[in-house]
Amino acid sequence: MVSFGYKKKKQYMQRLFGGSVFMETPKRSSQQFFTSPPEPLFNDKHVGMKPALLEETLQQLAKENELNMLNMDDECKGVFKNGKRAVFMFLLCKHYKLGYEDQFVAIELFSRFMSKHVAELLQHVKETKNTENAIEWSHVEQRIKHQIMLRTVTCAQVASKVCSHYRIISLGSAKRFLASHGFRYAANSIVQSEVRILKTLNYKVHPPMPLTYVEALLEIVGHNNPSLTVKHFHGICLNVLELYYIQRDAIYARLKQIAGVTSGQKHRGNTIEKDNMLTGSAIIGAAAYILDKSSSDQIIDHLSKITEIVNDDILDFSAVLIEQVLANDEE
């Protein structure tokens, strides 16, 4: 049902980008250059990306997406990045006034770390099962649960360092937050938690995630159709993306139902969940419908041409997201 092919031929990309060229970039003052913009810049005439760079970006994201879909090491899939876990992470990041990117990086880091961490501990328990040093899984599980708050705060702390120029969660601030919730950790314990997370993730702290694909595709769509106010789409996309994480289980259950994925087709279901290109396209499609339903079909068709994903697959995913938005409004 879902197409995972991406055309990379030069003539195809030239057709997509229309062969237009940017005007020479005007000179900017040092203050303009070094000051971070208050919001993302899309198709800005001063810093806009040229077609060749957009082409290279799309090809690289397509390659990373294919590798991500083939990676079946994540045994726990999205167990640690949906529902109450996502809500708490988002609220934690908002408490610290972190940027929108920080919260999505934080929840992805938390999910990847916890998945690998639990898998490693489970394997260790299995290896000691028939030895004198046998470990009861129930004891390990209790320890994991007790450390959830510490791991959550630490992942937000790492994300703040990765994404923010100056607004990061300091060691002291993390310690005070944990203490206020009844978790009294020494500063060294918080540092060790950060080291554990970094080592477990092999220091890969900027994971592939839907936000990256949303923003790249918006840049391309805005370049191809300058009449679109891409920044308006971006704001709505962020809201839809938050809902996507919170309602992730319900969304994929509905998608698998639509696609006819049965319980015996676990691999196929996992692949759909890992397709960030499809997810990013669907989020833009849902945002387009919310902003102006009369033009949403045209935008989804354009996204289909850019990504080589079947039009109906983006449409189905977008429709499921809209269903969740409407259901959330009713509540």
Domains of the chain, residue spans: 10-21+41-70+208-330, 83-200
CA dist 97 to 92, 124, 191, 328, Å? 9, 39, 22, 24
Name the range with the highest mean pLDDT among 5-19, 64-78, 133-147, 265-279: 133-147
The answer to whether residue 74 scores a pLDDT higher than 90 is no
CA dist 128 to 115, 124, 138, Å? 20, 6, 14
| Overall average pLDDT of the 210-218 stretch | 95
CA dihedral 47, 52, 54, 57 (to 10 degrees): -120
Which CATH homologous superfamily contains domain 83-200? Answer: Cyclin-like (1.10.472.10)
Mark out the alpha helices in the chain (DSSP H runs): 10-17, 30-34, 51-70, 83-95, 100-127, 137-163, 171-180, 187-200, 210-224, 230-246, 248-259, 266-273, 276-291, 293-307, 311-330
| Overall average pLDDT of the 302-307 stretch | 94
| Overall average pLDDT of the 19-29 stretch | 37
The answer to whether residue 48 scores a pLDDT higher than 60 is no
pLDDT of residue 263: 53
pLDDT of residue 226: 82
Rounded to whole angstroms, the Cα distance separating 110 from 205 reads 10
